[in-house]
Structure 1
Amino acid sequence: MSGATQRSAIVGARQNRYTRADCNSEVLLTGTSWIEVDLARLEQNVRTIRALLARTAETPGVIRRRTGPALIAAATKADAYGIGAGPVMRRLAHCVDFLAIYSPEQALEAAAYAPSTPIIMLMPPASIPLFELVPLARENRLHLSIHDRSDIPVLIRFARDAGIKLPVHLYLDSGMSRAGLDAVRFPSILDEALAATDLTVAGVYTHLATAESDGGFMREQIDLFDRTVEPCLDRLPPDVVIHIANSSGTLRDPSSHRDMVRIGLILWGFGAESLADAEPLIRPGEIKPVLRWRSTIAHVRDYPEGALVGYGSTARLSRRSRLALVPVGYGDGYPLLLSNRGHVTFPGRAAATGARVIGRVNMDQIVVDVTDHPAVGAGDLVEIYGADLDAPSSLPTLAAQAESHCYELLCRLSPRIERRYITFEP
């Protein structure tokens, strides 16, 4: 199977995520909820991040090889964090410098959707079949990672199969303890990679473990990286790309920006609101959420004081209440931990407090208390995840209530939910 055919097969298998499926009848079936994505906001977020990187380009005392603002590698793993790899990658292809993905499947996906953008695959290569990536490698835009000395002969064989000089990035483990080269062996493994005539060292990088929550340990990681890499600078190619920062690192510390930043969450408009013990370099609201999850009310009914609600009878009504049924649940990706915690809101209505989820989250439905929203009725619009960071249905607020993180809540959104690509109202 050719590279183009492989990529088309993967893309075809995912098409139903991005378009409404015609069931070959006169009736068009739609889901019980949908996700709206504003790709214009995504582009604006990239421009905002570019402006930050322009301001920090002359940060003194940092190890880097390029001049000018840092490049942007957009992390589009896991179906672009559940937002939809195809539309997202197609839009990002025109405004970022690299796509950062994890696996061979994601590499083929990126190649199909962004046919001219360089791709960095972060997964350790030794134990995975690389042969399917040969056609992509021959396009001279696939970069692979070195996590261990044993990766080098694997990558040399792959480069020879492709008939190319393969760009590789050495991953230094500076404290994540998730694969990567240790600092002691890094110089000798770098020398082996430099001596391999089938490889070209295109990058050196690390990954920050606590950039969101602990600036002190982040600083320790950066210092270890610098102590390890600086003695090797004279041996590195002049165009090598040094990259450290993830989204939180980009927001926290200009010294982490180096030659390139690898960012995901801030592209989607989140992260600035959750940075601990530091003022973010981009404030919440300067980057804007690019998605919202919506549904409609399926049913409304009054219940007496003392009525028990839901599986396990985990809620008892303290007053006569009006309860509404919203047809989303954990089968769609709504967290079970938002039982008796989460809130929904009603677009176009003044409802600063929203309506609280009452009882346990079900597989495909939740019950919300609309007693204080008498105008709300069956068929009315409901926002499950809102694009307003100040709303009780905002993704960061719900993630905290679910004892989780925006990353997980985005990635667990079911691919069955229709994605609609629109422009949000101002």
Structure 2
Amino acid sequence: MPPSRKTRYRKSVIVPGATTRDAPQGGQMRSLSRFEINLAAISHNIRQVRSSLDPDVGICAVLKADAYGLGAVRIASQLNRSGVEMFAVYTPEQAQVVLRARLCAPVLVLAPVRESGPLEQLQGALAAGYVQLTLHDEQHVRELECIAGELHTPLAVHVEVDTGMSRGGITCPAAADVIRAVHDSPLLRLQGIYTHLASAGHDADFTMRQSERFDGLLRRAARWIPPDCVIHEANTFGLLRGRQHHRGMVRIGLLWAGYGPEEFAGRADTRVQDLRPVLRWMSRIVHVKEIPVGTNVGYGSIWQAQRPTRLALVPVGYA
């Protein structure tokens, strides 16, 4: 992960199509190390992902925690130009930041929002459907209706169904009744239904069981699901696991950043070729020395030279 903004080795990119989080005036280096963010690689990766999907499958770009520390506004702007159909963040505050990019696609808030206060600055975006909320449990239906009343606008919601992740979302037995309640509510609009795959990167059997549970719920609730409701299931590893998980939209974080397939355990039924890493950590050698056999190196002397060795010092810690 990138360093915090307080570290000394922040630095801008000096290559076409790239930038960094903190660009000093005049492009001069503040220290000896820098992170390089290649914005052009983001668009390339989205094209590669798109080519692996059926034409009617959308892409939701996940930008939690300030786009994983890379700068949500600039990353969202590039993804917006790349034509993604939705963005996902965790909190309303993160949604506010992402909306500064003047997006053409809606932003889904994944966290349970149970009070109107965090949404007051988003009232216009909520009314226009540019910010959509996740519904997590039975009580949440009533809470979101209260929020809609206080803000004087209906709310677009996605119902999260817990099929095995055991974190957020409504249990499968209760989910159909919640979907019906949203369908019947004059204050809520059902924009999506989704689940989150827990082990798609390494456990095909459990992933399939989750998908089958989700299918069962969708069948039970079919009469209350409008035609334009987006059904989504696959994260990055779910996308790679197979087309049966793609449904109406895939949610990707690692893939837009150029990572994922190399960590996938097992046979990838969906192949995403030629991804380009968006992030590169660059530094330089500042000191070289020769040491004899038996010399201890580093804190705790945890490494010892087994032969005459040339050492290079790279300033990538607290430098």
**Structure 1 length-normalised TM:** 0.66
- Deviations, residues 225-268 of structure 1 (Å, cap 9, x unaligned): 11111121122111101000001111111011111111111111
Equivalent position of 1:249 in the other structure: 238
| 1:264 and 2:267 aligned | no
Structure 1 runs (4+) deviating above 4 angstroms are 26-29
Deviation of 1:308 (Å): 0.9
Query: For residue 57 of structure 2, what is the amino acid of its counterpart?
Result: A
Aligned-pair RMSD on alpha carbons? 2.1
Q: Percent identity?
A: 36
Partner SS state of residue 170, structure 1: strand
- What do the CA deviations read for 1:369-412 (whole angstroms, capped 9, x no partner)? xxxxxxxxxxxxxxxxxxxxxxxxxxxxxxxxxxxxxxxxxxxx
Contact 1:272 1:280 in 2 (8 A): no
Residue 129 of structure 1: which of 98, 115, 118 is its match?
118
**CA distance, structure 2, for counterparts of residue 194 and residue 295 of structure 1:** 55
1:304 maps to which residue? 292
Rate the CA distance shift 1:208–1:199 in 2: closer, same or farther, 3 A: same
Distance in 2 (CA, whole Å) between partners of 1:31 and 1:193 is 54
Q: Secondary structure at the match of 2:192?
A: strand
Q: Does 1:97 align with 2:100?
A: no
Structure 1 position 297, deviation (Å): 1.0
How far 1:319 sits from its partner (Å)?
1.7
* Residue ranges of structure 2 left out of the alignment (5+ in a row): 1-11, 13-19
**Maintained 8 Å contact 1:295/1:327:** yes
| 1:19 aligned partner | 22
Name the residue aligned to 1:82. 69
Q: 1:280: Cα distance to partner?
A: 4.6
User: How many angstroms does 1:151 deviate by?
Assistant: 1.3
Cα offset for 1:86?
A: 2.2
Question: 1:101: how far off?
Answer: 0.8
Q: CA deviation at 1:18?
A: 2.3
Q: Paired residue for 1:45?
A: 45
The C-alpha deviation readout for 1:127-173, integer Å capped at 9, x for no partner, is 68333332432343111001011212221222233332211000000
Q: 1:132–1:150: structure 2 CA closer, same or farther, 3 Å change rule?
A: farther
Show the counterpart of 2:95.
107
Superposed, 1:224-243 pairs within 5 Å as 224-243=213-232
- Cα distance in structure 1, aligned partners of 2:92 and 2:169: 18
Which residue does the alignment assign to 1:120? 108
- Alignment partner of 1:250: what SS? helix
Query: Which amino acid in 1 is paired with 2:88?
Result: A
Gaps of 5+ in 1: 1-15, 55-67, 330-363, 366-426
User: C-alpha displacement at 1:291, in angstroms?
Assistant: 2.1
Displacement of 1:274: 1.8
Letter in 1 for 2:313: L
- Confirm or deny that 1:212 pairs with 2:181: no
2:277 paired residue among 266, 289, 295: 289
Aligned with 1:126: secondary structure? coil
**Pair 1:313–1:290, CA change in 2 (3 A):** same
CA contact (8 A) 2:126 2:156 kept: no
Quick check: 1:316 aligned with 2:304? yes
Please say if residues 200 and 237 of structure 2, whose CA atoms lie closer than 8 Å, have aligned partners that are also in contact.
yes
Alignment correspondent of 1:73: 60
1:142 is aligned with what amino acid? V
Check the 8 A contact 1:134/1:161 in 2, yes or no: no
SS in structure 2 opposite 1:168?
Answer: strand
1:164 aligns with 2:145: no
8 Å CA contact 1:89, 1:114 repeated in 2: no
Q: Which one is further off, 200-209 or 320-329?
A: 320-329
- TM-score by length of structure 2 reads 0.88
Q: Is the 8 A contact 2:127 2:154 kept in 1?
A: no
**Deviation at 1:29?**
5.7
Match of 1:374 in 2: none
